[in-house]
């Protein structure tokens, strides 16, 4: 099992290297607390699934955010959920178009293996804003055979659901019956098996990751086929 850890805690920007200021090109609000920040790319190269550290221009902290946009896009996008009393997200929410953010070069190994055979089947499992790397996967890769399971509390958290091919995105809403499935994403996975040959990519909170891993293990999926990025 491949596991990459992304912390919710902010990181002092002073400890970072290769940072730069990037202009905010647009801010698109998806819910009262969640928004997409589109910033100038300035030549940054990345692979879908990688993340960047982003922070306010005059702050002392940055936070890791998976890149939300496609590899071929001219700009860079991140999906941000405002965390109450957070050290970074509330400051980012206050910024406006034309302002600037600090951005560090993309890093990370939560990517699709280029050696996978053509036609490889993928199951992407996300909770909340953990959908970010999968959004980048889908927009970046042609003819990707995937199913995306997205666990949220309310159907209003189906971030940019229309960007996914019809029938491949499954919204699992745990607190209302307005999604594709009324219940947790883990319950959906218990009731719907996707096979031992698929590669499973998990991104979200640690409890969901641990539960999904146990479910897949019970279903006979090899740990070599499970890849996780954990948010703490």
Residues 207-224 have pLDDT tens digits of 999 999 999 999 999 999
Q: Which of the listed residues 104, 136, 152 is the one where a domain comes to its end?
A: 104
How many distinct structural domains can be found in the chain? 2
Same domain, 29 and 93: yes
Same domain, 136 and 189: yes
Residue 194 neighbours by CB distance under 10 Å = 18
**116, part of any domain:** no
Residues 124-180 have pLDDT tens digits of 999 999 999 999 999 999 999 999 999 999 999 999 999 999 999 999 999 998 999
**135, part of any domain:** yes
What is the domain range of residue 99?
A: 2-104
Same domain, 76 and 160: no
Tell me the CATH number at 9. 2.40.30.10
Residues 175-205 have pLDDT tens digits of 998 999 999 999 999 999 999 999 999 999 9
Name the residue with higher pLDDT: 74 or 19.
74
Same domain, 210 and 149: yes
**172, part of any domain:** yes
**70, part of any domain:** yes
Tell me whether strands 61-66 and 51-55 are parallel, antiparallel or unpaired.
antiparallel
Tell me the CATH number at 215. 3.40.50.80
pLDDT higher than threshold 70 for residue 15: no
- Tell me what pLDDT residue 16 has: 44
* Both tokens assigned to 185: 């994403």
Name the residue with higher pLDDT: 41 or 9.
41
Same domain, 66 and 152: no
Same domain, 128 and 34: no
Q: Which of the listed residues 104, 135, 164 is the one where a domain comes to its end?
A: 104
Q: Which of the listed residues 72, 104, 136 is the one where a domain comes to its end?
A: 104
Beta bridge partners of 169: 148
- Cα separations in angstroms, 50 against 36, 64, 120, 137, 141: 17, 10, 20, 10, 14
- Cα separations in angstroms, 122 against 91, 116, 134, 193, 194: 36, 10, 11, 12, 9
- Tell me what pLDDT residue 58 has: 86
**187, part of any domain:** yes
- pTM score, whole prediction: 0.92
**113, part of any domain:** no
pLDDT higher than threshold 70 for residue 110: yes
């Amino acid at each position: 099992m491949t596991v990459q850890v992304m912390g919710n805690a902010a990181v002092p920007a002073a400890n970072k290297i290769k940072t730069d200021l990037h202009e905010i090109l647009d801010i698109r609000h998806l819910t009262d607390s969640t928004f997409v920040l589109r910033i100038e790319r300035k030549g940054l190269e990345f692979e879908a699934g990688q993340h960047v550290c982003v922070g306010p221009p005059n702050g002392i902290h940055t936070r890791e955010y998976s890149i939300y946009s496609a590899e071929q896009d001219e700009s860079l996008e991140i999906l941000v959920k405002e965390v109450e009393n957070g050290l970074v997200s509330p400051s980012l929410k206050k910024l406006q178009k034309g302002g600037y953010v600090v951005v560090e070069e993309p890093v990370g190994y939560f990517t699709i293996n280029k050696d996978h055979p053509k036609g490889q089947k993928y199951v992407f499992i996300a909770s909340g804003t953990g959908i970010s790397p999968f959004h980048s996967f889908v927009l970046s890769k042609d003819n990707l055979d995937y199913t995306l399971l997205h666990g949220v509390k309310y159907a209003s958290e189906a971030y940019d659901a229309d960007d996914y091919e019809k029938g491949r995105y499954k919204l699992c809403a745990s607190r209302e019956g307005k999604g594709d499935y009324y219940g947790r994403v883990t319950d959906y996975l218990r009731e719907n098996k996707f096979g031992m040959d698929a590669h499973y990519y998990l991104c979200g909170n640690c409890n969901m990751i641990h539960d999904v891993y146990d479910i897949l293990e019970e279903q006979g999926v090899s740990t070599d086929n499970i890849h996780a990025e954990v948010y703490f």
